[in-house]
Structure 1
Amino acid sequence: MARTKIDYGIDLGTTNSAISRMENGEATIKKTDTLKDTMPSCVYINKKKAIQVGDSAYNALKSDKLRAMKASSNFQSNAFIEFKRTMGTDKKYPSSNFEKDLTSEELSAEVLKTLKSFVKDENVNSIVITVPAAFKNNQKEVTREAAKLAGFNHIELLQEPVAASMAYGLDSNKKDGFWLVFDFGGGTFDAALLKVEEGIMKVIDTEGDNYLGGKNLDYAIVDEIILPYIQENFVIDSILADDTKKQILRNAMKEYAEETKIALSFKDEHNILPPLGEIPGEDDEGEEFELDITVTQNDISKAVSPVFQKAIDVSLSLLERNNLKGSSLDSLILVGGPTFSPVLRKMLEEQICKPDTSADPMTVVSKGAALYASTVDVSEEVREQTRDKTKIQLEIANESSTVETEEFVPIKILADKTEGEIPEKVFAEVTRGDKAWSSGKVEINTIGEVFEISLNEGVTNQFSVTLYDDKGNLLECEPDSFSIIPVKVPPATLPYNVGIELKDKTTGKVRFKTIKGLEKNQSIPAIGTRNGLKTQKQIRPGMDSDFIKIPVYEGEHASEGTRAIYNEHVTDIKISGADLPSLLPENSDVDLTINIDRSEKITVTAYFPYLDYSTDIEVDSTQTSIETSWLENEIKKAKGSIAELKEDGNSDNGQLAKVEAELEQIEKSFENNKNDVDGKQEVLTNLRKSLKTIDELNDTTEWPKLEETLKEEFYRLEKVNNDLGNEKTTQVVNQFRSQLDEVIRAKDVKLGNVLLEEIEGFFIKLTFIYQLIGFIRSHNENFGSFHWKDSGRARTLLNKGLQIIGENPTVDELHPVVISLIDLLPNDERPSGDDSVLVG
């Protein structure tokens, strides 16, 4: 029978994946080819170019990593895992057997195809795939792309903590209070705070880290337990001095670390003792590598506690900003294989509260995805492809989820979708799965009839629909059943502030601005607007070189007004003259509307009131990798900021010492991952957090210097106003004086910086005429050193400007001349500043 709901959910994990299906009202795991609940998210291409996925691929991966130790530095593995962590980047995975490079989404598609193959009794065209709540927009985009490559026609995305909370909520007796989902997976970490009232769940807030997970635990065990053992028993100076060889060694040892991590989740100690000769290669003195390490709970606790602590700190921060404590929680729900660790569970109990271990951390996300899928209609396109029109087609408009015990369900006949004969009179009977309730036979038609159905409380209710003619003969219909789950599906929320970079009209600085309606934790789907933005230059029709740039960003908590490095670049939307029907003058209004659907697909509409014209742009996220040299420089700048803070007398500050230690760890991680796309992403994520702390520390030490600067700039403005101002400008200056007195009394750094920007901006406005005069005179005196696009036109404009200057010039007269001159200059000779971004 063709499904009217999606009904299938996939947990596409970093290290393990699973697929579930709704069967008789219950989310059921579909077993893998090795009869397990989950499958390794691992892909292997053999010498015959055949693709293997799952356990066999994972076994090949381990062999490949060991062979890499003995092979030359150009050894290429043909087994891949943890590519989820490079989704949304331009990272390529070269395969010598396949004779081509593979992308993260191509590898993910192979995992999805294999999961789909575990369903033997029907074709799966529609799917719900879970993603980390902290996934960026570009990571979600390529997840959709992977699903398309895997042959799915209808794809919905669902945040992993939301899926987990649905599965937990279905089985839990706790129907009220605050829940915290602690989702520590193989490669990512999410914390989601939910409020539950009478079984109705609402996501209040989320936080996460896309580069914190089981992989980090594995490398912590490698770096803190296995490598020290090797250094103590072997001579490996040449390996440690070579970044490539060192990474090969770490990768080979990671498999033993993962085995240790899993073993110590269920027993007190584990012995790392590979068979003799399993580890190829030799140390600097020709000794073959061997391992014989007994790892205790105490040993592993020392190694992995700092990694777990990062996740706990994220959770505590999430609770704190929502004015909650661990004791306020009614449930702490564990998700992900690493949450089996007794080390973590003890840390959580000590620092937050005792975890609820009733749900299976390995399958709760997949099952929750299937539950959610049972509430989502398949797309009309897929529905049309799968209809059996020989049966009477019905529309059953039931609520898919509810906490009520009674619901009204309209049912009607779709005559235009039915090719077979429809009797003059048709009767429908709705029967509950336990046979304890039935509607009786009720006549239905193409207009529809409403059935009042009775539900059993706290369980999934399955209903069958049977049709009869007026003689009591059975009629075939489609669909012939529906189910209602006893939990209200919580809407997903925006994990980030969605906004754009704008040039501040007062200060001229380019900063991140959140779009109203698209703030973090806004329920999705959502629509945001920002009206009255201004263009900085004219856009000529048909000219690709004339364009408006709208940089779209995702910003973390407290990102408003921050610099670009603090936020995640989604894409740059460009609207050029080729997209517009006629000339758009400088300083024209632009109204933006940004629509985000329930799968977090972004569409931007730009409306130009002057032209009465709008254009729609579907956002395709940018896939890039981080430049190693740029990241190295940003770390150096952060260390320099620490040194400056120390010079200002903050050596005893505990927070400064903490962030300094964080930077040391970041630098160490950078040195270990210079050539690794995933590793560099992780370094940048952690660096951003440290930079925010540094900025906060700067705020506390900045006041004396800021106060001095504020006074200097105000006195400078006051002097210029005495020389050039009028009654109107004098009123503004007097307002600044009052604000300055208030800020100095409060010693408020944030307000002080805002006031400084306003004073500097007004000074520029007041002296603008002199800047214009200076520009014209300078370019006249150095005419021959500029590469004018049209030197004759430039000379005419400069002569006109000089004439205006000699006659009592005004801004209105000189400004158009200067703008025209700038248009005649090549981009690299124009005054600095991006004039393509909007002003707001």
Structure 2
Amino acid sequence: MRDTIDFGIDLGTTNSAIAVVEDGAVTVIKNEDGADITPSAVWIPKPNEIQIGRWARNGFEIDPENYASEFKLEMGLADAGRSFHSGQVTMTPQQLSAEILKALRADAASHCGAAPDIAVITVPAAFALNQNKATSDAATLAGLGTMCPLVQEPTAAAFAYGFQESDERAYWMVFDFGGGTFDAAVVSKRDGDLRVLNHAGDPYLGGKLIDWAVVERILAPAVSRDLDLRDFRRDNPAWRENFAKLKSAAETAKIQLSRRDQVNLRAELATVEGRSQTFEYALRRDEVDAIAEPFYARAVNLCRRALAEASLTSDDIDRLLLVGGVTLSPGLRERLSDPREGLGIEFALNLDPTTVVARGAAIFASTVRRPRSRQAPPAPGEYAVELDYEPSVTTTRPTIAGRLSGSASIDWTTYSVTVSNPDGRPPFRSGRIALNADGVFVTEVEIDEHQTSRFTVELTDETGTRRKLSPNSLSITHRDVEFGGVRLARSLGIQLVDRTFAPLLSKGTTLPTDVRKVFRTSDAFHRSDSDAVVRIPVIQGERDRADRNQQVGVLEIRPTDVRIDLPSGTEVEVTFEVDTSSLVTVIADVPLVKAQFEAEINLTDTRTPTTEALREMLDDAESRLDTLRRTAATGTSSDARQRLRRLEEEGTVATAREQVRAAPVEIGAAASAEERIRDLQAELDDVEDAVRLPQLRQELDELLLHAEDPVGQFGDASDRQELAELRRRAQEAAEAGNPTAVRELIERANVFLVELERRSPDWPVKLYFGLVAALSGAGVRGADQLVREGKQAIAARDEARLHAVNQRLLRLLPAEEKNKIIGLVES
């Protein structure tokens, strides 16, 4: 029986693989075809017959209507599913992924003699909570249980590399460009500690986009011309089968172009009359490189972002770890090698980029103890032990602890245990280790360097008789490297009422972790109301605006189990717990009644927008882009122009258009389109800020200049210090080109100025005229009498009467205007 999980699975968009650690060595398990990788494809030609992998790929050529692939991109979407007409079944992405996992388990059973009942499964670092949960659900459906740990793909790649390299101190960058996703990770190795410092990625940037771009921009126009096919578009259902065949041919040709300069692509396509006709095209490597260039650019820019957030540059990185089939492209490697256009970091080429993630997952699995199932109480005369130890260590003298239990009350102080490893070099055997009254022991053992040491635990009673103990063995592996912990790849939080994003856990937080947040009920809750529920959107991302991030679920609070009714405004304390697989559980407490009640994050109802909604979203983004282009062209902001150039370089708009066009026939394209448009709008937010930055700086400078006079008249030493600090920070914000910081300083300067103005003898008069202007601007009527009374109070120099008028004027303002001015009158 294995002590550690040992099996690692790379569940990929295009291909999948499984590896295992045996006696400290990693083996990639070959499938029934003798290959290291299995295509992530499913073919169901008739009821109850499911073909996986290469056989499914072959079936695609003759029966594309009953074929599915690339369903990983649809994981976590409630409205996703693939229908198999001949198979008379519809399957979710989780069910399809489970079929791939079942095939990999079968390969492992052939290799090891038994199918694994648990494995570490990799997910993209850019995956959201709902996508991670869907992956766990797929593992359960495949017979791998409910406890499969998830590890991020770039982290697994770093394991594969870091656990075999002898470098004591180094920085690496993982460049993981797979079939459907892209991840970049900055990794450090310091004195045996392997740590992921930062992530960046895109869950919809992969080789699939390049394949479709080749189809839509090169092959489809050629087909339309050569075969005289009208209205030949990807979203036209009449040509669905033709486009599927072109996509397959493009993918195959792209792979072949990693070794050749030109490939003669061939596909059997249907004509208008339904006849089969051969389409041929001589596809050149430089054509594909030109098409792929925007996708390469986006990947490089994400790497640069990850480096900048880690306060590093390309010069600080020792090796670039290439992961994923796309990295086999000579064009991409040439770009990455260029210090100006790429990263200029030396490649690490000693591991196969198509299997390195599975290898790393297996290594990680060998450091994770198998979850112990709850055992039945020991039979009379037998004993159980709960062992506590680290299965993978960097020391040669690790500690083992244990707590024994029996079927009856026992005086454990008369018992002892012995721990031995007869195969050690030299053999190891402890002396008799006494137990305390609770049946607990702790001891150090000696293990061999770079080996897996297997120990036997013996229990003896007061007479020296050996007693039956379960479990009675364990293994510990010595390695030079220790993993520094899993990090949260994207910030996790909630959407507030004003639609801003309130992070609860920041990107980079070490997992597992938990955080507490206090909410207040907006309405009363009654036990008799079974439908009473608080729903709070759960968001992942880094943007201040919630809608610029990804909504991954809804926090639902249902206080049906509380002993008393809850009045409006009741405090509800919610604890979010995030495990090392980035899976979240929630506990809710009501301090008022000292009770917990049901709360959960619903991650099963994430859906894509309709095609019509996507088109409207894209039209809005493109219109805004056109406006900002004109503004930036006549403005002084070089930052705005640089950001707009990057959008062009990455082909963001062109990709969004293609994905929106494909949305009616492919739900994965709809999800990709939504992500692209959201990114585009977020980038345009930054462009807009950059365009407005000179205006904001001028506004801040004028405020600080205006503050000089009242500081001189009414200020003290602390006021003069505050003004100097505001000037210093204003200079820093201007030099950094940070519009958000400038806005915050404008707000702070306004508050500072108001505090100074309050000390002025004519402050009530200034406030009066400010309120009158605000009422006029808001179109409020019926204040004429109060306005006249204010003028009379000013003429009579009656401060008490003027104060009363100001308070009554304030109450007449609309809520929004009142919030703007409320701080001026509160003491």
TM norm. shorter chain > 0.5 = yes
Q: Corresponding residue for 2:576? A: 594
Report 1:204-603 matches (<5 A): 204-240=197-233, 243-273=236-266, 279-282=268-271, 289-350=277-338, 351-352=342-343, 353-380=345-372, 382=373, 384=375, 395-410=386-401, 415=406, 428=418, 430-431=420-421, 435-440=424-429, 442-444=431-433, 447=439, 450-457=442-449, 459-465=450-456, 467=458, 478-486=471-479, 487-503=481-497, 509-515=498-504, 518-531=505-518, 533-543=519-529, 547-556=533-542, 559=543, 561-562=544-545, 564-575=546-557, 578=560, 580-603=562-585
- The answer as to whether partners of 2:76 and 2:134 remain within 8 angstroms in 1 is yes
- The answer as to whether partners of 2:556 and 2:602 remain within 8 angstroms in 1 is no
Q: Does the alignment pair 1:141 with 2:141?
A: no
Name the aligned partner's letter for residue 676 of structure 2. Answer: N
Partner Cα distance (2:568, 2:701) in 1? 35
Q: Does the alignment pair 1:80 with 2:68?
A: yes
Name the aligned partner's letter for residue 101 of structure 2. Answer: L
**Shift, 1:482, TM fit:** 0.7
- The answer as to whether partners of 2:177 and 2:183 remain within 8 angstroms in 1 is yes
Q: Corresponding residue for 1:655? A: 643
**Shift, 1:151, TM fit:** 2.0
Name the aligned partner's letter for residue 487 of structure 2. Answer: T
Partner Cα distance (1:402, 1:705) in 2? 58
Name the aligned partner's letter for residue 683 of structure 2. Answer: T
Deviations along 1:389-420, whole A, 9 cap, x unmatched? 99975554332222233323346765559xxx
Aligned in 2, Cα 1:240/1:551: closer, same or farther, shift over 3 Å?
closer
Q: Corresponding residue for 1:680? A: 670
Partner Cα distance (2:175, 2:733) in 1? 40
Query: Where do 4+ consecutive residues of structure 1 move more than 6 Å?
Result: 385-392, 424-427, 468-477, 704-713, 738-748, 755-760, 808-811
- The answer as to whether partners of 1:234 and 1:287 remain within 8 angstroms in 2 is no
**Shift, 1:38, TM fit:** 1.8
Aligned in 2, Cα 1:534/1:248: closer, same or farther, shift over 3 Å?
same
Q: Does the alignment pair 1:624 with 2:607?
A: yes
Partner Cα distance (2:319, 2:483) in 1? 18
Name the aligned partner's letter for residue 527 of structure 1. Answer: D
- The answer as to whether partners of 2:448 and 2:478 remain within 8 angstroms in 1 is no
Deviations along 1:18-52, whole A, 9 cap, x unmatched? 22223222332232122222211111112243112
Partner Cα distance (1:745, 1:454) in 2? 56
Deviating more after overlay: 662-671 vs 336-345: 662-671
Aligned in 2, Cα 1:582/1:702: closer, same or farther, shift over 3 Å?
farther
Partner Cα distance (1:389, 1:162) in 2? 47
Secondary structure in 2 aligned to 1:193?
A: strand
Secondary structure in 1 aligned to 2:486?
A: coil
Name the aligned partner's letter for residue 676 of structure 1. Answer: E
Aligned in 2, Cα 1:338/1:658: closer, same or farther, shift over 3 Å?
closer
Partner Cα distance (2:296, 2:68) in 1? 25
Name the aligned partner's letter for residue 54 of structure 2. Answer: D
- The answer as to whether partners of 1:429 and 1:440 remain within 8 angstroms in 2 is yes
Q: Corresponding residue for 1:5? A: 4
Aligned in 2, Cα 1:124/1:244: closer, same or farther, shift over 3 Å?
same
Partner Cα distance (2:181, 2:153) in 1? 11
Name the aligned partner's letter for residue 522 of structure 1. Answer: T
Secondary structure in 2 aligned to 1:663?
A: helix
Report 1:51-66 matches (<5 A): 51-65=50-64
Partner Cα distance (1:552, 1:262) in 2? 40
Aligned in 2, Cα 1:41/1:173: closer, same or farther, shift over 3 Å?
same
Q: Corresponding residue for 2:186? A: 193
Aligned in 2, Cα 1:96/1:387: closer, same or farther, shift over 3 Å?
farther
**Shift, 1:366, TM fit:** 1.7
**Shift, 1:587, TM fit:** 4.0
Name the aligned partner's letter for residue 628 of structure 1. Answer: T
Secondary structure in 1 aligned to 2:270?
A: coil
Mind listing any 5+ residue stretches in structure 1 that lack a counterpart?
66-76, 504-508, 714-734, 778-807, 820-840
Counterpart among 103, 115, 133 of residue 114 in structure 1: 103
Partner Cα distance (2:567, 2:611) in 1? 41
Secondary structure in 2 aligned to 1:637?
A: helix
- The answer as to whether partners of 1:106 and 1:149 remain within 8 angstroms in 2 is yes
Partner Cα distance (2:234, 2:529) in 1? 54
Report 1:65-104 matches (<5 A): 65=64, 77-89=65-77, 90-104=79-93
Aligned in 2, Cα 1:392/1:160: closer, same or farther, shift over 3 Å?
farther
- The answer as to whether partners of 1:7 and 1:370 remain within 8 angstroms in 2 is yes
- The answer as to whether partners of 1:44 and 1:53 remain within 8 angstroms in 2 is yes
Partner Cα distance (2:309, 2:246) in 1? 40
Partner Cα distance (1:589, 1:473) in 2? 58
Partner Cα distance (2:362, 2:616) in 1? 46
Partner Cα distance (2:217, 2:417) in 1? 71
Aligned in 2, Cα 1:651/1:679: closer, same or farther, shift over 3 Å?
farther
Deviations along 1:303-334, whole A, 9 cap, x unmatched? 32332222122111111222212221122112
Q: Corresponding residue for 2:156? A: 163
Mind listing any 5+ residue stretches in structure 2 that lack a counterpart?
636-640, 704-721, 755-766, 783-804, 816-827
Counterpart among 123, 127, 136 of residue 131 in structure 1: 123
- The answer as to whether partners of 1:25 and 1:483 remain within 8 angstroms in 2 is no
**Shift, 1:464, TM fit:** 4.2
Aligned in 2, Cα 1:431/1:744: closer, same or farther, shift over 3 Å?
closer
Partner Cα distance (1:427, 1:704) in 2? 75
- The answer as to whether partners of 2:585 and 2:601 remain within 8 angstroms in 1 is yes
Name the aligned partner's letter for residue 230 of structure 2. Answer: D
- The answer as to whether partners of 2:494 and 2:538 remain within 8 angstroms in 1 is yes
Partner Cα distance (2:581, 2:455) in 1? 31
Name the aligned partner's letter for residue 438 of structure 1. Answer: P
Q: Corresponding residue for 2:628? A: 645
Partner Cα distance (1:605, 1:37) in 2? 43
Deviations along 1:745-784, whole A, 9 cap, x unmatched? 9887435655888989x99x999x999xx99x9xxxxxxx
Aligned in 2, Cα 1:471/1:29: closer, same or farther, shift over 3 Å?
farther
Secondary structure in 2 aligned to 1:634?
A: helix
Give the TM-score, by structure 2 length.
Answer: 0.78
Partner Cα distance (1:453, 1:268) in 2? 59
Secondary structure in 2 aligned to 1:405?
A: coil
**Shift, 1:445, TM fit:** 6.5
Please tell me the root mean square deviation across aligned C-alpha atoms, in Å: 4.5
Partner Cα distance (1:8, 1:234) in 2? 50
**Shift, 1:386, TM fit:** 14
The higher relative CO (CA closer than 8 Å, separation ≥ 6) is in 1
Report 1:725-740 matches (<5 A): none
- The answer as to whether partners of 2:608 and 2:667 remain within 8 angstroms in 1 is yes
Residue identity (%) = 27
Deviating more after overlay: 300-309 vs 571-580: 571-580
- The answer as to whether partners of 2:43 and 2:67 remain within 8 angstroms in 1 is yes
Secondary structure in 1 aligned to 2:331?
A: helix
- The answer as to whether partners of 2:258 and 2:330 remain within 8 angstroms in 1 is yes
Counterpart among 588, 591, 596 of residue 606 in structure 1: 588
Name the aligned partner's letter for residue 321 of structure 1. Answer: E
Aligned in 2, Cα 1:654/1:19: closer, same or farther, shift over 3 Å?
closer
Partner Cα distance (1:649, 1:170) in 2? 49
